Structure 1
Amino acid sequence: MPKKEALKKLREVLIRRRDALRRALAGDLSLLQEVRDTGPGDLLDAAVDTAQDEVNSQLVEAESRELTLIDEALERLKDGSYGTCDECGKNIPMARLQALPYATDCIQCRRKSEQGLSPSVSWNRVFEDAPIDSV
């Protein structure tokens, strides 16, 4: 498949996902408001509602982040920088873009950044050195 056609298909995928996320976010936010407007229940209902609100809030946050990434990818498609790694400037392989259409880095640069973010920590050592509070 020629690159131009592949980019067109990726653009369509991004737009469909963006529209789906927008609808989901609009529904999630209106549903949260609807739940709050139903009035108070007993203590157990309040606890369940609080837990559900937290889960919904985290989902909305993740969907919002993905929506932002999609909007940025669509902007890169417009300005011609789509498919180029932000880190090294090389082309991002089409297979990676098909798997993650809003990717901004190639696999090698992603691996390097992930290795830099998660240094190996010996948790046993951390707990061994922690002072024990006396009672």
Structure 2
Amino acid sequence: MARKDAIKKLRVTLQKRRAALIRAAIGDLDLLQRRQQKTGDVLDAVAETVQAELNSQLLEVESRELKAIDDAIDRIDQECYGDCEGCGKMIPLTRLRAVPYATECIACHRLTEKRKSHPAASMNRVFPSYQADRV
């Protein structure tokens, strides 16, 4: 029963974070849309362009987190929240409290990260037909 109560609290946390991200994304989007070409020197134009790029990247990060949160809320609704997608075991509550939209336990997440950072992993993305030929 304690896990169910903790998951209910995590749902509230996810919903609050979701609302905050939406407000932040709306603000970032508003800044990008209000960007006006002002008369000024080249340095002003460069500074404005850099700020617009930063706002754009921030909006992208916020939208990825928002998607992860929406997916987590869906998993709660489907009663599969907290199950590791890698090994199927329950993700410890301490991990879920730290990263409420986590889909893997620490061990599986480390394996995923190791695979992504391995030099051969990038080769599989560059040469996908090679992988298909070997199977």
Q: Which residue of structure 1 aligns with residue 116 of structure 2?
A: 117
Structure 1: unaligned runs, 5 residues or longer:
122-135
Q: Which residue of structure 1 aligns with residue 4 of structure 2?
A: 4
- SS of structure 2 residue aligned to 1:37: coil
For residues 19 and 43 of structure 1, the distance between their equivalents in structure 2, rounded to whole angstroms, comes to 38
Q: Counterpart of 1:21 in structure 2: which amino acid?
A: L
Larger radius of gyration: 1
TM-score, length-scaled by structure 2:
0.83
Equivalent positions of 1:47-126 (< 5 A) are 47-119=46-118
- SS of structure 2 residue aligned to 1:60: helix
Q: Which residue of structure 2 aligns with residue 42 of structure 1?
A: 41
Task: Give the Å deviation of 1:114.
Answer: 0.9
More helix by share: 2
For residues 39 and 9 of structure 2, the distance between their equivalents in structure 1, rounded to whole angstroms, comes to 48
Q: Is the 8 A contact 2:86 2:104 kept in 1?
A: yes
- Seq. identity, %: 53
Q: Counterpart of 1:30 in structure 2: which amino acid?
A: D
Cα deviation 1:70-109 (Å, max 9, x = unaligned)? 0000000000110000111110000000000000000000
Q: Counterpart of 2:108 in structure 1: which amino acid?
A: C
* Aligned residue pair count: 120
Deviates more, 1:25-34 or 1:57-66: 25-34
Alpha-carbon RMSD = 1.6
TM-score, length-scaled by structure 1:
0.83
